[in-house]
Amino acid sequence: MMIKSLSALCLAVLVTTSAAMAEVVKPSPKINYADNLLMNSKTAKRLENMDSEEARLALQEARDLLERAKEAHNSGQKAEGSSLSSLALKKFTQAAKLLPKSQSALKVQRKRYIELDEEITSYLEWYDSASYVSGDEQETLDKAKLNISEAKILFENSKYEEANKILARVLDDVVVMTNRSMTSTEIVNSLDFETPEQEHKYELARNNEYKRLIPIAEQQKEPKGGKLMLFKRFVKKAEDIRAQADVELQAGDVQTSIKTLQNSTDQYLRALRMVGIR
């Protein structure tokens, strides 16, 4: 009878121990995912074969963290294991950033550089043909041209990402300056024209400058659907009114032509504001 009791007790201990062990070694989906990523993924293999001590060390640090995560999890410290596996994944992500860009990614970055450069050039050409450029604007333009040269050197050395960051900042600066310039009334209010012909010449130049900004705004903002239709409607109205102003000038009615030109410019302004150029 005693032997049977001991046997039953031993069996109970074994079952309890087995159940406890099963609970301890129950797989963690998060750790399993990290293990597969850090050990078997294509990114991991590329890091292993990369000719960079920094990349290989970063990968090894990530794997060391993963091993610590497994040990913690298997010893019952699940929260610690989860935290360490998160650190391992974070370190692996950092290591992956050291990999050279794929050819497709480089192609996208090269294309982005060309787009940014063309867009900035459109603005600079507009300023080159402008009838008036303030001192502050000229300072911004000079700085932009220096930055463009710097970006070009980076681009020619295949440092596309760095070049694009510079051009993106240049574009932002030029757009902000242009918006401020196109909506400023300070210059207009300070002018004192001696003859109607002088005022007409000024309004004509102002109208032309807004007109030059229209294709740039459309390219940059890319309006769609109803917004594009309304944008084009304002532009068409501005062009029709401008044609009317030309007829009035040819008829010798300079004062009326000036007011008509101003109305045309207002329509261009509405079009620009419609797409967010303020």
Amino acid at 40: N
Among the listed residues 182, 214, 206, the one whose alpha carbon sits nearest the alpha carbon of residue 131: 206
Write out the two tokens for 49: 């074969």
pLDDT at 241 > cutoff 90 = yes
- Give residue 27's pLDDT: 74
Q: Tell me the pLDDT tens digit for each residue of 66-105.
A: 999 999 989 888 889 888 988 988 888 888 877 776 667 7
CB 61 within 8 A of CB 26: no
61: amino acid identity, one letter:
E
Cα–Cα separations (whole angstroms), residue 148 to 144, 166, 179, 216: 6, 8, 20, 19
Q: Is the pLDDT of residue 15 over 60?
A: no
pLDDT higher than 70, residue 278? no
Of 64-68, 118-122, 135-139, least confident by mean pLDDT is 118-122
pLDDT in tens, 173-222: 887 777 666 555 444 544 567 788 888 888 888 888 788 888 888 887 88
pTM of the model: 0.42
Please report the pLDDT score of residue 104 as a whole number.
75
Mean pLDDT of 217-234: 87
The pLDDT confidence band at residue 150, using thresholds 50, 70 and 90, is very high
Structural contact between residues 65 and 94, judged by C-beta atoms closer than 8 angstroms? no
Q: How confident is the model at residue 257 (pLDDT cuts 50, 70, 90)?
A: very high
Count CA within 13 A, CB hemisphere, residue 254: 9
Q: What is the pLDDT of residue 129?
A: 67
The number of beta carbons lying within 10 Å of the beta carbon of residue 21 is: 11
Least confident among 25-34, 45-54, 162-171, 176-185: 176-185
Q: What is the mean pLDDT of residues 156-174?
A: 88
Q: Which residue has the higher pLDDT, 276 or 73?
A: 73
**3-state helix/strand/coil string of the chain:** CHHHHHHHHHHHHHHHHHHHHHHHCCCCHHHHHHHHHHHHCHHHHHHHHCCCHHHHHHHHHHHHHHHHHHHHHHCCCHHHHHHHHHHHHHHHHHHHCCCCCCHHHHHHHHHHHHHHHHHHHHHHHHHHCCCCCCHHHHHHHHHHHHHHHHHHHHHHCCCHHHHHHHHHHHHHHHHHHHHHHHHCCHHHHHCCCCCHHHHHHHHHHHHHHHHHHHHHHHHHHCCCHHHHHHHHHHHHHHHHHHHHHHHHHHCCCHHHHHHHHHHHHHHHHHHHHHCCCC
Give me the percent of the chain exceeding a pLDDT of 90: 26
| Number of Cβ atoms within 10 Å of the Cβ of 43 | 15
Give buried/exposed letters for 76-107 (b at 16+ CB in 10 A, else e). Answer: eeeeebeebbebbbebbeebbeeeeeeeeeee
Nearest to 55 by CA among 96, 105, 101: 96
Q: Is the pLDDT of residue 243 over 80?
A: yes
| Interior angle at CA 80, CA 91 and CA 27, nearest 5 | 90
Please tell me the predicted confidence (pLDDT) of residue 100. Answer: 72
Question: Sorting pLDDT into bands at 50, 70 and 90, what band is 64?
Answer: very high
